Amino acid sequence: MGKIKNAFYAQSGGVTAVINASACGVIETARHHRQQIGKVIAGRNGIIGALTEDLIDTSKESRSAIAALKTTPSGAFGSCRYKLKSLEENRAEYQRLIDVFRAHNIGYFFYNGGGDSADTCLKVSQLSKTSGYPIQAIHIPKTVDNDLPITDNCPGFGSVAKYIAVSTREASFDVASMAKTSTKVFILEVMGRHAGWIAAAGGMASDEDTQIPIVILFPEVTFNRKRFMTLVAQKVKRFGYCSVVVSEGVRSSDGGFLADQGLRDAFGHAQLGGVAPVVAGMVKEDLGLKYHWAVADYLQRSARHIASKSDVAHAYATGAAAVKMALAGKNAVMPTIERVSDQPYRWKVGEANLKRVANKEKMMPRSFISADGFGITARCRRYLEPLIRGEDYPPYQKNGLPKYVQLKNVPVKKKLPESFKV
Amino acid sequence: MGKIKNAFYAQSGGVTAVINASACGVIETARHHRQQIGKVIAGRNGIIGALTEDLIDTSKESRSAIAALKTTPSGAFGSCRYKLKSLEENRAEYQRLIDVFRAHNIGYFFYNGGGDSADTCLKVSQLSKTSGYPIQAIHIPKTVDNDLPITDNCPGFGSVAKYIAVSTREASFDVASMAKTSTKVFILEVMGRHAGWIAAAGGMASDEDTQIPIVILFPEVTFNRKRFMTLVAQKVKRFGYCSVVVSEGVRSSDGGFLADQGLRDAFGHAQLGGVAPVVAGMVKEDLGLKYHWAVADYLQRSARHIASKSDVAHAYATGAAAVKMALAGKNAVMPTIERVSDQPYRWKVGEANLKRVANKEKMMPRSFISADGFGITARCRRYLEPLIRGEDYPPYQKNGLPKYVQLKNVPVKKKLPESFKV
C-alpha cells in the first residue's frame, strides 16, 4: 500500500467541448493502474478545490459515467480562473497545497488548462524540490485559443474551429439566398482575444467545391476601416453578398479593442462586448448595406454536438498520456500533439518541458494570413484541415436532446482542521 | 403533349434549414409524374423571379443534386421578401405573372413560405377565376416562427427549436463550470419577433434527467424587470448560475421592443438589434453578476448540421404532398402537418384552405407558458418534444465541412419581349 498514491486532477480556465474527454483519458487510464494510482481525486472548481480541500471522489462514479465524459462538453468538476502567485508572494498557498496533498496521499498532480494553468502546474512541480514533499505535476493542454507553444495544436481548439467553419458556411448559404432583397452582409463574432486561430477557421467555410465570399478580421491585423469596406463592397458587387468573421480581439489603429469604441447604454455608459454590432454599424454607415450579425460566445466552445473527431481524440490521448508520464516518473512536463504528416494526417503524442510552455503565447504565423490581411493562406488551410476533420456525435436522448452526463461529484471527507480562504 | 404543364416553384421570406427539403419533395415527386408535369421551373429569388422572368430550369440538375437539397440549408434558388399588392392596387403585376406563366406553359404554382407568402399564393390562386388563365396555386408551409394557423407545426421550426434547445443545454453546462469564479448568468437571444415558439424551445434544454436553471423572456409576456431580476437572483443563489433565453421580440411595458431602448453608438445614434446585451447590462446593473451573452441570429435557422429529423420529414412530405394535391386538381390549398398522437408521435399530411391560412398568426397558447411567465409548461413540452426529436445529419466532406449542394441554376431562356421592373 505504501507505494500507492492518489492522483489529483483539476480543470482550469475557460472550458471547452472536449476538456472532459481529457478527464476521461486521465481517469480511465488511472483505473487501469490501480497498483500505482489509488483514486483520482478531482478539485471542485479547479485549483480552488485543492486550496479549500473541496475535493471530489471520482471512484464513486460508474464506469459508464466516466466513459460519458468523452461526449460531454464543459468542465464536469467545475473550473476556475485563478492563478497561483509566486512562492515569494504567497507562501501560504503552497504550504496549503502540500497540506492537502499530504492529507489525501496525493502524489500526482494533473492540471488541465491553458497558458496560465501551465504556469500554476510548473509552480506545483517545483514543490517537491522546494518543500521536500514528493509530487509529480503534469500539465494537460487545453485551450480554444490554440495559443500554447510547442504542441502542434491545443485540444479544445479543433472543435471550436469546426463549429465556426460549419456555422460560417451555413449562415453564408442563408445570406446568399436573402441577398437579392434583404441582408447582404453577415457578420459573425468569434472568440480569440489575442490570437486569430478561431477567426481563421471561418475561412475554412469556403473551399474549392463551395466558394463563399468571406472577409476575416484578425486580432493580429490592425483594423483599417477603409480597406475593409472596399473589400466588402467588392465582394457584394461580385457575389451579391459577403460574410465577415470578426475576432473579438480585433484592434483599431489607436491600439484599443474595436469592441470598446462603440456602444453606450441609454445613460451613456460604455457597454461591454460585441464587436459584431460595431462592425455592422460601420457597414451600414459606410456602405448603406443591410446586415445581420451574430455573436457565438459560449455556443462555440461548448458545441459538443459538432465536435471534431480529431479534437476528441487529441483530448483523450493527452489525458491518457499524462497518466503514463506520471507513472514513468516524470515531472514538470506536458503531453503535446506532434504532427507527423499533413496528408494523410498522422500524429502522435510528444512531450514538452513545462518551463518551455508556461506563459508563452503562440500567435498565428504571418504566413497563415493572406497578403491583404483579410483571409487565410493555403498553408493555413493545410494546418487547420486535419484539426476539424471527422464528426464525433454524442448520443441523444429520446426527446431529441444530447445525452450529457452530470456526475454525482461526491465530496471527499475533509481531513484538515483549518479552512482556507482564497 | 397538350395536357402536360410545367410547374413553377419558389421560395419566399426568411429561409430555414429545411426549406430545400421541401423543394426536394416537390421536384422529386414532379419527376415521378412526367406525364402530367413537364419541368419544374424555379423562380430565382422567389416571386421576383416570376415577375422578371428570371427563371431556373431545374431539369438541368442531376438526380443526386436534387437529392442533396434534402440535406442543404437555406434557399437553393434564392428567396425574397416581396408581397404582391392587391389586384386593385397593382394589376400590372398580376398581368405580368400570367404573361410569364403562359409563355412558359406553367399550370402549377408552388409557393414555399410563411404567412405573407400564403397571401401571395392565395392571390395567384384566384388568377384562374379573375383572368381566365388556368393556374393551380398550392402553398407549402415554411417558417421558423411556427406561426401559421391550422397546421400543427411549420417545417423549419423544429430544426431551429432543436438548435436552440441543444445550444442552451451546452452553453448552460459551460456556465455551470465557470460560475464559481466567473460568469454566473448566460443570456441567449433567439428569433421570434411576435411569437415565442423559438424561445420556448430553450426551455427544453432542461428536463427530468438534466436539470438546468433557465429563465425565458417571451414576446407574449411584457418584460417586468423587477420580477425577472428576482427570479434570476433566486436561481443563481440555488444553482450557482442561470441561463436566460430571450426572444428578440420581447417588449417593455411601454410597448416598444426592449432591444430598441438600449444601445447608442459613439455618436448617440440608436443602434439596431441585440436585446441580449441590453438584458446583460441590466443584470450587471441590478445584480452585479458577471454575464456572457450570445446572439444566434442566422446561425439558428441555417443549422442544418443539427436539424431535427421530424422537421426534415415534415418539410419533404409537405413538398411532395403539394405536387400530389396539384395533380388531384386542387387549388388554393396548403398541405398541413396533422398530429395524430403525441406518444408515440404519429402524424400525417392534411389539407387547409388557403383562405384560412393567409395573414393569420398563431401565437403561443397561454397554457404553454408557466404561471409566472418565465417558463414552459408540461403541455408545451408535450407539443415541442416530437418536433425536435431525431437527428438527420448531412454528409460531410473529407475536410470536415458539411457537403451542401450549390445548384447550377441554369436560366430558362426568356420568351417575353419586355422586361419588368419590381
Rounded to the nearest 10 degrees, the angle between the axes of helix B309-327 and helix B19-31 is 40
**pLDDT at position A360:** 83
Looking at B185-341, list the stretches that DSSP marks H as alpha helix, in order from N- to C-terminal side: 197-202, 225-239, 275-287, 298-302, 309-327
- In DSSP notation, A111-123 reads EEESHHHHHHHHH
The Cα B410–Cα B57 span in angstroms is 6
How far is the C-alpha of B46 from the C-alpha of B94, rounded, in Å? 15
The reply to whether residue A177 touches residue B11, judged by beta carbons under 8 angstroms, is yes
Q: Number of A:B CB contacts under 8 A?
A: 266
Q: Residue A277: how many CA atoms within 13 Å on its side-chain side?
A: 29
| Nearest C-alpha in B relative to A310 | B400
Q: Is the domain B157-302 a CATH 3.40.50.460 member?
A: yes
**pLDDT value at position B100?**
98
Residue that is written with C-alpha cell 426568356 in the block: B414
The pLDDT value given to residue A3: 82
Q: Phi and psi for A100 in degrees, rounded to 5?
A: -70, -45
Amino acid at B337: I
Catalytic residue among B57, B119, B145, B311: B145
Q: CB count, 10 Å around CB of A215?
A: 23
Residue spans in chain B of domains classed CATH 3.40.50.450: 5-142+307-359
User: What are the Cα distances from residue B410, in Å, to A236, B49, B141, B406?
Assistant: 21, 13, 26, 12
Q: Which residues of chain B are modeled with pLDDT < 70?
A: 1-2, 261-273
How far is A303 from chain B, CA to nearest CA, in Å? 6
Comma-separated ranges of CATH 3.40.50.460 domains in chain A: 157-302
10-residue averages of pLDDT along chain A (422 residues): 86 97 98 97 97 98 98 97 87 94 98 94 91 95 96 98 98 97 96 94 97 97 98 98 97 89 54 81 95 97 98 98 98 98 96 92 94 98 98 97 98 96 88
Q: How many CA atoms lie within 13 A of B20 on its CB side?
A: 29
Closest CA to A231 of A218, A246, A219, A216: A216
Q: Is the ipTM of this complex over 0.85?
A: yes
Q: What is the pLDDT of residue A1?
A: 40
Instruction: Give the pLDDT score at B405.
Output: 98
pLDDT on residue B87: 82
Residue of B nearest to A168 (CA): B299
Given this model, what pLDDT does residue B385 score?
98
Contacts of B268 in chain A (CB under 8 A): 264
Q: How far is B169 from chain A (nearest CA, A)?
A: 8
CA dihedral A316, A318, A320, A323 (to 10 degrees): -150
- CATH code for the structural domain at A5-156+304-359: 3.40.50.450
Q: Which CATH class is domain B5-142+307-359?
A: alpha beta
